[in-house]
Amino acid sequence: MAGSAAARRGREECEPVSGILTITLNPAVDLSTSVERVVAGLKLYCGAPRVDPGGGGVNAARAIRKLGGDVTALVAAGGAMGEWLLRLLAAEDVPVRAVSAGGETRQSFAVTDETTGEQFRFSVPGETMDGADSARLLSAVASAAPEDGYVILSGGITSGLDDDFPQQIMEALAPRTHKLVVDTSKAALSHLLASPAKPLHVLRLDQREAEQSAGQPLASVEDSLAFAQDLIARGAARIVVGGRGAEGSILATQGQRFFCRAPQVEVCSKIGAGDAFTGALTLALARGEPLDQALRWGVAAAAATVGSEGTALFGSGQVQALLPICAVQAV
């Protein structure tokens, strides 16, 4: 019986997933806690920690699942921390395709100063990957790619992988789908913008990433939209989404431009807000929602997450409650 179960599991892991596939190359076990005051040199007595599965694609998958979507999280996981990560995802009923890569999965943590409300976020690097890890990941992506479905690559690109790894993922997906949504940073993002081989379906940048890529401040919504359409003209993506912090987000295509103003909520933690945005936006697109409505879903999910404690995402009904006050307009 055990052999039959293993064989069945092996066959399933070689089959395309249904619904949306998320990819997380550098996941983490996220801990969050608080302390009365952060002071250097003293032993600080923190509150009970909250533990959640983390990393860009992992959080996007958690958001999609909370919104009732069909999703599978492909994660590079290893060691005891990787096993913990997989148990945390199972506890949230998120289906997983685990790929053994990169050694021990990392841990990240955040501490909120209860006196000032400031949050201190610490992210440690994952272990360096090698060529064998890269090959296993690309093979797993090719096997799991949904037929004409959406795929989200969110989070950092692990040390040791090529800067053009997002393009390699696009090539691995190509026989089945072109609907790749990318939210990444640093050298991988720079390579995507400087040397686009084929346009991504959707590219998301936050305000800081967009300004660094533009080489200048993007002070207004119009500035962000103009930069987004410049990226589209350069062949970086068909759809570009840009976060503008508490102000809201923009979305642009070659012929359409939208801005969605974010609702005002009490800020508890910004952890996972951008990932929740990406997950909700992608789910809305997968369900056939028009672009402006997909943008509203993303903004509502991000706002609901900002209002949640620590590494938690939004709670049941919070996104739907915020949707009516997420004002979207064509610009």
Own/partner long-range contacts of 288-295 (Cβ < 8 Å, ≥24 apart): 291/239, 291/251, 291/253, 291/256, 291/258, 292/251, 292/258, 292/260, 292/328, 292/330, 293/328, 294/251, 295/241, 295/249, 295/251, 295/258, 295/260, 295/328
Distance CA 127, CA 106 (A): 8
Selecting among 52, 70, 275, 292, the annotated active-site residue is 275
Task: Reply yes or no on whether 275 is catalytic.
Answer: yes
Distance CA 63, CA 305 (A): 9
**DSSP calls for 81-132:** HHHHHHHHHHHTT--EEEEE-SSSPEEEEEEEETTT--EEEEEPPPPPP-HH
> Is 81:57 a contact under the CB 8 Å cutoff?
no
The answer for 34, left when phi > 0, alpha when psi is -120 to 50, beta otherwise, is beta
> Is 153:184 a contact under the CB 8 Å cutoff?
yes
Catalytic residues: 275
